[in-house]
Every structure is written in structure tokens, then in C-alpha cells.
Amino acid sequence: MSRHWVSHLALVLVVLGWSGTACATDVAVLLSAEVKQYRDAVEGFQDATKYRIVATHDMRADLARGRQLVRQIEQNDRPDLIYAVGIYALQAVVSAKPRTPVVFSMVMNPPSITRAGAVDVTGASMNVSTLQTLQLIRQLNPNIKKVGAIYDQNMTGFLIEKARSAAEQLGVELVAKKVQTPAEAIAALGQLQKQGVEALWMMPDRFVRSRAVLTQMILMSYRQKIPLVGLTRRHAEYGALISLSWESSKDIGRQAGGVAKDIIAGKAPKDVPFTTAREINIVVNLKAARKLGITVPKAVLAAADSVIK
């Protein structure tokens, strides 16, 4: 090919916008609310992807407004992907059912929302890996063979399924009781006690938010001299031996960015599993350990982000 034709072809490609580099990916952000943690997640997402954010919409924790914004995003912004940050934003896109692929972040228990059939949704959750939690329980005491949990099927049933698989890997029996009310949860604790569980594991569902259930779990822990694994620092401060929770909203945003790259590369969202938090905050309560007569291993203390003395 002559130099004349090479130059001519290059000029045509430039005019048509085919410069040989990848086309920019446009993203519209839907925020559940104007919250620093959500903004940090967006920053992490941008760090991981370098995608162009063409618009950011604040739904102000209003589901009706959120659904309207999703329609506006598709009609006016026309992005390649919608990034939904927070539980309300995920609820909005699930109910609005946009044609545009959606990646979420900063959501606890996403299957409790997406099970309605939103196959074009995946992302980065705030959940802690069930395997990682059970490994820490075994690290506290390798002789623990029976771990008890109570759960709401609609909220954390998917976690129990994952936990059963993880428990099998570790040679642990998971004794899980399905409940629908705080009263049933308290009764289920009595059943777990009769079955001789050697540790209690809080599931991230609505019953944990009940002070009555949390109090009964702590009382059972102390009476039976078994460790209670909580979900937040507040649980450890209240009396749980140890707690595990997500640490960094910015890193969850980065994880969402990794998921987004898979989607933009051509994978179907339904084929990309949502992620669990990889940066974990561990709190150990040595006051509780003394009451329980448990010596916390040095390896667990070394891994802890903070220790309550």
C-alpha cells in the first residue's frame, strides 16, 4: 500500500472516530443518598475503572424518585452502565428494570433485593465471607465442631446456603434455625442450647437489630461459656467475644469497578457473582473472653484491628 493510501486511511479513521484506542465507557451513578461512604465508593470505582461518569443522581432515599431517575438516566444520559450505590439505589433499579446493565455497591444481603428477577444486576456487597468467618471461629478454638445460627430465610437464607458449604469444607456442623419473628428467634436460641452448639454466629438480618434477641444471644454465650461472633463493633462493645465487619467503602467501590470491567468486557451480569468485602475490621473483646474463660490466640489478637480491654 502506498504512503498516499496509508495517510488517506488514517484520515478517514480519525474522521470516523476510530483512532485505534478503546471507546470511552460512560457510567451514570445513582446514589441512595448524599453520604460520605457512598462518595468514597464512587471514588474507589473510578480508581479501578477510569470510566467516564457522565452524571451523578441523588435519589435522597426516596424510592419513587429513584425509579424516576433510572428512567431519566436511560432516556437522557444513555450510559453504558449504571452504578447504583446503596440499598435504596439497588431497590430503585430492581423495581425500574432498566435495559442498561447495573453494578451495585455498598449493599448488605443483595439477594434479598435482587431475587425479584433482576438478572442484569451484580456488584460488590458489604457482606463478610462466610468461609472467612468460620475460619476465624475455628482459629479461636480448633475443637469447635458445632456452630449455631438463627436466620430469616428472606433476608439471609442465601448466606446459610453458603455457610453450609463452607462449614463442610472445614469439618464443622452448622446448626441453623429458621425464624420469622424476634419471639421465634429467642425460642430458637433455646433449641440451639439443647443441641449443644459450641459457638454462636450472628447473621446480618433484621432480628440482630432487635435488642431483645441480641441480649439473649449474649446471655446464652456467657451461660454456656461459648463464643459469640457479632457483626459490628457495637456488638463487641455490647458483649460479643469478637466481631467481623466490612472496613472500607472505597475498597468496596474498587471491587464494584472490577465487576464493572467484566460486564463491559462482555460478560452477562447474571454470570458474574457479587463480591464480599475483602477489607475486614475485626474487634476482639477481652472483657468477654475473661467472662467466658477463653484465651484468645495470639494469631487472632494480631489480626484484630482493635481490642477491647
The pLDDT of residue 116: 60
Quick one: average pLDDT of 59-83?
97
Quick one: average pLDDT of 99-103?
95
Q: Do β-strands 52-58 and 26-31 pair in parallel, antiparallel, or remain unpaired?
A: parallel
CA distances from 125 to 58, 103, 251, 275 (A): 20, 10, 11, 6
Q: Work out the mean pLDDT of the chain and round it to a whole number.
A: 92
The pLDDT of residue 10: 42
Is pLDDT at 15 greater than 60 in this prediction?
no
Is pLDDT at 21 greater than 80 in this prediction?
no
Is pLDDT at 13 greater than 90 in this prediction?
no
The proportion of the chain whose per-residue pLDDT surpasses 90, expressed as a percent, equals 88
Please answer whether residues 277 and 127 qualify as being in contact, where contact means their C-beta atoms are separated by less than 8 angstroms: yes
Is pLDDT at 87 greater than 90 in this prediction?
yes
Is pLDDT at 2 greater than 70 in this prediction?
no
Is pLDDT at 167 greater than 90 in this prediction?
yes
Phi, psi of 219 (to 5 degrees): -60, -40
Is pLDDT at 19 greater than 50 in this prediction?
no
Q: Do β-strands 102-107 and 81-85 pair in parallel, antiparallel, or remain unpaired?
A: parallel
CA distances from 264 to 51, 67, 260, 272 (A): 10, 23, 6, 12
Task: Please count the CA atoms within 13 angstroms of the CA of 222 that sit on its side-chain side.
Answer: 13
Q: 229-288: per-residue pLDDT in tens? A: 999 999 999 999 999 999 999 999 999 999 999 999 999 988 999 999 999 999 999 999
Please answer whether residues 103 and 260 qualify as being in contact, where contact means their C-beta atoms are separated by less than 8 angstroms: yes
Is pLDDT at 52 greater than 60 in this prediction?
yes
Greater confidence, 283 or 117? 283
Residue type at 83 in one-letter notation? Y
Is pLDDT at 17 greater than 60 in this prediction?
no
The pLDDT of residue 42: 98
Instruction: Report the range of poorest mean pLDDT among 21-25, 36-40, 52-56, 291-295.
Output: 21-25
Instruction: Report the range of poorest mean pLDDT among 112-116, 148-152, 217-221.
Output: 112-116
The pLDDT of residue 8: 47
At 3, the pLDDT band (50, 70, 90 cuts) reads very low
| Chain centroid, CA 240 distance in Å | 21
Is pLDDT at 107 greater than 50 in this prediction?
yes
At 298, the pLDDT band (50, 70, 90 cuts) reads very high
| The Cα angle at residue 95 between residues 90 and 96, in degrees rounded to 5 | 100
Q: What is the CA radius of gyration of the chain?
A: 23
Contact residues for 66 (Cβ-Cβ < 8 A; gap 6+): 30, 32, 59, 88, 89, 91, 92, 93, 96
Is pLDDT at 140 greater than 50 in this prediction?
yes
